[in-house]
Structure 1
Amino acid sequence: MISLLQRVSEARVDIDGQMVGAIGQGLLVLLCAEPDDTEAVGEKLLAKVLKLRVFSDEAGKMNRSLQEVGGGLLVVSQFTLAADTKSGNRPGFTGAAPPALGEALYDAFVMSARAAHPVVQTGRFGADMKVHLVNDGPVTIPLRIAHQA
């Protein structure tokens, strides 16, 4: 599973001019499932996201997790994270899970996130979304958890 985490002071997702999810301080998680991913891979990724120390402590060091600061989590599906740009000028997306699997894994990730963390908002899988964010720092961290055979 591929993800891109952005520490935000605020973020929201709009679809057709309507806000569907919003958070204040927290993490925006752009999420892409790959063909070999499983719910177990999503669980590992979620555990890492919730415990990753990317928020500042009293000394200004990135030493606090999302759980410690009580921040929100905004999860947005983004298959384009699997873009293959090795040849040509048009990216290929065969590295992303097929839509049915991608949606099932995205839904499982969100369900687990809601069970583990009090503030979880989402976009909508497969929708044309407008994501608005104020990146805090800026802090942007790529995170990938691979399926282990």
Structure 2
Amino acid sequence: MAKKPKGVPDYEVGYGKPPKHTQFQKGQSGNPSGKSKKETSIKAKLMQIASEDITVQKNGKSQAMTHLDAMVFTVFAKALKGDLPAIKFISDYIGVDVSETSHPQQLQLTSADLEAMSAHADWLKLLEDAQSEHDLEHPTEDDDDVTDTPS
């Protein structure tokens, strides 16, 4: 067998087969600096900060909680002191209409209200009487079946 001359590749160079001297050497990367890191969004930064623990004074005692928990407690404290924007924020967020939860005031009935209620009651009595008379004059078929059956 004949020896191959130096510098002749062991394989054919062509499409998808680059020369050996242009290929990456072992241990060498094609992108030494790597992929650039994605910049974090404001939402991600806020969520990271909101989840960090802090120590706060609550009822005279030190208590560990997240920034988010501390903010919620602060908003509730403001709402309890009567801060209207805080009350509105909480009620809107949890879906409660504040007017539904308040106690209704005592109603003051006037004489006109009482007369209207009395007239309404009189009309209801007249309707009940007319219905009972109609039922006596025109019994239903079910009532006939019940009365015709022997005991």
**Structure 1 length-normalised TM:** 0.18
Higher strand share: 1
**Structure 2 length-normalised TM:** 0.18
> Highest CA radius of gyration, 1 or 2?
2
